[in-house]
Structures are given as structure tokens and as C-alpha cells.
A and B are shown apart, each in its own frame.
Chain A
Amino acid sequence: MMTSLAHWAMAAGFVLILIGFYGALTNRNLLRMIVAFCIADTGVNIVLVAVGHMRGRTAPILDSAVPVADAVSRIIDPVPQALVLTAIVIGLGVTAMMLAYALKLYEKKRTLDIAKFTELKW
């Protein structure tokens, strides 16, 4: 069953996500959490790309190798690739935001321990 490259890539992606999540759930350091999320993001992106993969096909660029007429049978699904581009950029934006947060939080309390920011609760 697990034979195609797509499966392996996807599995790798999922594992990355889980690793990222685990990191985010167990590290109390803000920066480590952010890194963990980056890992998870990467995992997501891999899964995204993996879904678009089709065995034995090529990139969706029409050039001499892939004439317009054959495109349907020669290229892989271009949509996930487009989506992953967007996803990456958005992930970048989010990461930047989180970093900014981390910076400000550190300025406030001189600590990066998430367990120290619990004044708001209940």
C-alpha cells in the first residue's frame, strides 16, 4: 500500500507536524515553541505538496519538454504547488508576528517561559 513516493512524503510531513506539535506542547520556551511551529508548518507544506504528486509526471511548466497538447497527461497537479506557495508565505508572516510577540514578551518580563504569562485566566 505505502508504496508511492507521495505516501512517504506525506508520512514524513505528518511526522514533522506531530514533532512540531509535540515541541510546541512540551517546550515552555517561547522561541522553542515558535521553532516547533515552523517545523509543523514545514510538515504541512510537505503534505500539501505530496498530495499534488503523481507518479511519473513532471513539473507543470509548459516548455519544450511538455508541449501544451500533452500537458494533461504529463504534468502533476499544479494546484497544491500554488497553494503551498501561499501557505509558506502566510506561515512566514505568522512566524514573524510570533517572533515580534516573543520579543515584546521578553521585554516585559525578561523571561521566555510561557508559564509565566498567566495573569489572565479563569
Chain B
Amino acid sequence: MKEELLKRVVKGPDGVEFEVEPLRDYYCEAPPAVHPPVYAKIVEDLFNWARSQSIWILGFGTGCGAIEMRPLMTPRFDAYRYGIQWRPTPRQANLLVISGYLSVKTLKRAIRAYEQMQNPKYVVGLGSCTINGGMYWDSYNTIKRLDDYLPVDLYITGCMPRPEALLAGFEDLKKLIRAGKAEGANQYAENFDWYKTNQKRVIHDWDMPDYNW
């Protein structure tokens, strides 16, 4: 545990000393909740359509795949036409693209980013490395199977997949969303303990609350 997260005794301005426990006092400890589709089917369908037509990607690149993401914004591929946009903050993003191999160190960040996104949210694994480790299958510091750590809705294979493949993948994702099958967020909440166990197994310097609100 990092020093700044340890319990500490501080003295208030009135001279009274008390204990501060950062993980409890500074972070929300609630576990993630399952948010079932509560609306009438037709409303949910409308929302799912809207979700599929308005995919906001978190601008977060993890591996070599990040390079392949950029061309999507250029005139040549122009993903905006399909309602796909980039957001710099996970709060507003719906889609987390793990673009390539994920080192353990980056996994921690990916988990945080994912958990700070709002339900519903989607994860797309980009390239072979997210599926089985790819060429880094025996590396000491990359994870091999993204799905053990985050609920992946879709993999786009290749090493690296071309932007066109990404566009195709997004189209597939849209279909999943419209079909109401992209419920990764709820899945994550339901199997929260399992995911956490997996995550903590590889991340040895765990220094955050279990769920990053």
C-alpha cells in the first residue's frame, strides 16, 4: 500500500487529533450496482438505438493499436459519420477500446478508466494480444486474456487490425448494442468478485479501492 493511502493521525485546527483513513474517507466504498433495463421495451429499444448511434470512445491508447485508432478521425475513414466520437473523460465515454497488448501496469489504469465510465459501457479488445497475449504470450508483464479482467463485448482480431477492421468491428458492436446484448457493465457488477480476484492476482501493488467510482 502506498504511503498516502495509509491511515494517518492528523491534528485539526482546534488541536484535536483524529484518524484519517484515506480509502474510507476519500473514496466511495460502494460496490457497483446492476442496472437492469428498467424502461418499457420500446423505450429501451429507443435508448439502445441511440446508444448504438452515439458511441463515445474514451481516448485511451494502451498498445500499438492506438496508432490504428487515430486514422479513424481523418478524412479517409471519418468515423464521425457513424456517430462515433472521442471523449477525453471516461465519465462521458461509452466505449473503452483496449488497443493492443495491456501491460499489468496499464491494466490498473484501464480498470480505473473502465470503472469510471457510466453504465451501459462497452469494451472492445483490439488485436490478438487482448485475446491471448499474442506475440507476448509469455511476457512477464502483459496480461494474456483481457476478458478475465474486464467484460469484453467484442474482439477485433489482427496484428494490427486495419482501421477498416475497426469500423467493421464498431458496426458489429452497434448490432450487439441494438440487440441489447452488450451488457458488460452489468456483467461486471454481477461477477464483481471474480473480476477483482483476477485483477488482484496480477496487480500486486493494488493501491486503490475495489471499485473506482
A–B touching in complex (CB under 8 Å): no
